[in-house]
Homo-oligomer: A and B are copies of this chain.
Amino acid sequence: MINAGIIGSTGYAGSELVRILLQHPSVNLKLLNSRSYIGKNFNAVYDNFNNFCDIECSDLKIEDMANEVDVIFLALPHGIASKQVTQDILSKTKIIDIGADFRLKSQEIYESWYKTKHHSPELLNQAVYGLSEWKREEIKKSPLIANPGCYTTCSLLPLYPLMKENIIDKNSIIIDAKSGVSGAGRALNLGTHFIECNDSIKAYKIASHRHTPEIEQQLSEVSGQQIQVSFTPHLIPMNRGILATCYVNLEQDSIGISEEEIKQIYETYYKDEYFIRIMNQGVYPETRWVKNSNFCDIGFKLDERTNRIVIICAIDNMVKGAAGQAVQNLNIMFDIDEKTGINYIPTFP
């Protein structure tokens, strides 16, 4: 059994981790840290966990937790994980950071987008960007995984095959993303007060959301050139799910490509990827079809009038966008079947 602990367990992503890990056959969830609920049992914070989890939330430090568990998940606001993780910690335990601190390779870009100092830049190169489907081999070898952002996962997976195949104009990428409100976390905020977001929709952080440099870093790596994208997140009155609508122009040489050929590209790249489901032509992903699951559904439409491809991707932001992918990475790191503990059928209704 893999002994696991979570630091920051009482946020939404943390609680989703608790839920998944408790049902994981190879994991023993041992320690829960939470600044906000020290001394409270986990099921007193979240009543759904009655009968399942009465672990007491503690303020145990990462140094002490590292001595007791094989893996620590961090689910913390940015700027905190980079203070806590050290080489010493990494020599004792594996770290899967659901937060943003180790995702960007460039300290400068991190500090410019996050407006805060990075406290352990020496670890940035050691950290592996944990997009499971792309980085499997590196994930296996690293003690420090930077779990991707929810928007990033939902943007990268649909764009990757088209980038690799060089059929799209790399300067034309526009990602219009729509997220359920759980993505904003449990901290109280007027913008996520029920009345302020129910029965309404808004864009926010236009051209300035922090998942942008993360998307760009990964697409640049894949394409071997500097990529910039337009990324616009929107808040949708629903609990879970992200839908990303991606617009790309066909590269001049690729004009004339058929939908079947594009479908073939996706199938070639993802035929062995269990958690990526390519939709049939004419069928597009909807967030309801991936709810409470680790699946990433991808569909697309070739618009022959404008020579653009419109690609739609849906994930559950709490699962493939956070806790589920973190466990997928745990499975990879510990050489367990990658589906273990996260192979649930999406729930509907």
Chain A residues in the interface with B (C-beta under 8 A): 12, 15, 19, 22-23, 46-52, 174, 176, 178, 180-182, 186, 188-190, 192-204, 206-207, 228-230, 232, 234, 236-241, 243, 245, 247, 274, 277, 279, 283-293, 295, 297, 301, 303, 305-306, 308, 310, 312, 318, 344-349
Contact = CB atoms under 8 A, between A and B. Distances in A.
Contacts of A285: 202
B234 A200 contact: no
Contacts of A51: 274, 277, 295
Contact of A228 (B46, B182, B228, B305): B305
A109 to B, nearest CB: 12
B345 A204 contact: no
Nearest to A182: B349
Given A204-B284, A303-B230, A349-B318, A198 B237 contact: yes
A239 to B, nearest CB: 5
Nearest to A284: B203
Contacts of A277: 50-51
Contact of A291 (B48, B279, B303, B344): B48
A232 B206 contact: no
Nearest to A53: B345
